[in-house]
Structure formats: structure tokens, C-alpha cells
Amino acid sequence: MHAAARFADYLSRKRLKMTRERRVILEQVLAARGHFGVDDLQEILRKAGHTVSRASLYRTLPHLVESGLVHKLEMAKGQARYEPMVGRHHHDHMVCLECGKIIEFESREIERLQDRVCRRKRFSMTGHTHQIRGYCDGCAGRRGPRAGGPDPQAHRV
């Protein structure tokens, strides 16, 4: 099913409306080819010649997430980032504490073990976040091997 149709379907099932703003947001979000924050998105929209208030972005993004078209990443300090999920399958992220780069990874095996843990604990999983912090190839080299000490536990990102 086409993304726009899928969103339209989601909206109508919830008795919500397909407004100009939602259409434009959807369009630009799907065109984005990376991870973006709310302010980034507003900038993208502005460049595309549209104005949408921050309030509307904050109101629309959860719908895109809930309809499965977009995925939300919770970064440190409550900074949320989003990424389009159309035609992609689930993956998790590594975040470089030096340059902020986000590297995607996926592991069927980890997912499988995760399911097993949930079954064992009688926990009904609806979603998960698996984020690895550290330094990417380039940054680890520049900092020198084994530098840094203990994990600053996402004081940055």
C-alpha cells in the first residue's frame, strides 16, 4: 500500500482529517533520507516553500509514528529524532558521542533473544529501543585507542 494512502487510511479510521499541513509534512518526511529532529523538519519544510507551525509538527509526528510510516528515536536529554520507515525493516542505532553520526544495525538474532527474554518474563512487548553509544571508526581513531574511560552515559549526543 502506498504511503500516502496508508496515512489517509490511518486518519480516516481515527476520524482525523487529511489537511494541507499533514500532506506536506508526510511528503517531506518521506523524502528525507536520514534522521532528523523537529527543527530540522521545520527547516526542510520552509525550504520547500511551506510554513507549518511547530505545534502542528508536534501534533502530526505522533500520528506518522503510530501509523508506522515513521520511527521515533529517543536520544539523550529527551531530544527526539525521526526517520522514515517506508519500505524498510526494523533496525537499531549506534550513536557516535564525538560527531553525532548515527549508524544503523540490525540483528535477527538479537531480536530473537529479546523475544525469548520477554516470554520468560511474561512481558508483552510492543516495542523496544536498543542504542549503542561510543565512537565511530573515524572518531575513535582521532581520539586514540582506548581513550575516554567509562561511558559518560549519554551526557552528550
Partner DNA sequence: ACAGATACTGCAACTCAGTCTCAATTATCG
Partner DNA sequence: CGATAATTGAGACTGAGTTGCAGTATCTGT
Tell me which residues touch a copy of itself (CB under 8 A): 62, 65-68, 71-72, 74, 76-79, 94, 96-97, 103, 105, 107, 109-110, 113-114, 117-118, 121-137, 140, 148-155
Kindly indicate which of the ranges 32-40, 109-117, 133-141, 142-150 contains the residues binding DNA, using the contact rule CB under 7 A.
32-40
Q: Around Cβ 54, how many Cβ atoms within 10 Å?
A: 11
| Minimum distance of a copy of itself from residue 143's CB (angstroms) | 9
| Minimum distance of a copy of itself from residue 88's CB (angstroms) | 16
Q: Please answer whether residues 73 and 103 qualify as being in contact, where contact means their C-beta atoms are separated by less than 8 angstroms.
A: no
Comparison of 51 and 58: residue with beta carbon closer to a copy of itself? 58
Report if residue 16 touches DNA, rule: CB under 7 A. Answer: yes
Comparison of 72 and 111: residue with beta carbon closer to DNA? 72
User: What are the cell numbers at 153?
Assistant: 552515559
Report if residue 22 touches DNA, rule: CB under 7 A. Answer: yes
Contact residue for DNA among 21, 27, 40, 111 (CB under 7 A): 21
Comparison of 48 and 115: residue with beta carbon closer to a copy of itself? 115
Q: Which of 46, 142, 29 is nearest to 84 (CA)?
A: 29
Q: What pairs with residue 74 in β-bridges?
A: 80
Residue 51 interface partner, choices DNA, a copy of itself, none, CB cut-off 5-8 Å depending on type? DNA
Torsion of CA 148, 151, 155, 157, to 10 degrees: 80
The residue type found at 16 is L
Report if residue 77 touches DNA, rule: CB under 7 A. Answer: yes
Read out DSSP for 35-93? -B-HHHHHHHHHHTT----HHHHHHHHHHHHHTTSEEEEE-GGG-EEEEE-TT----EE
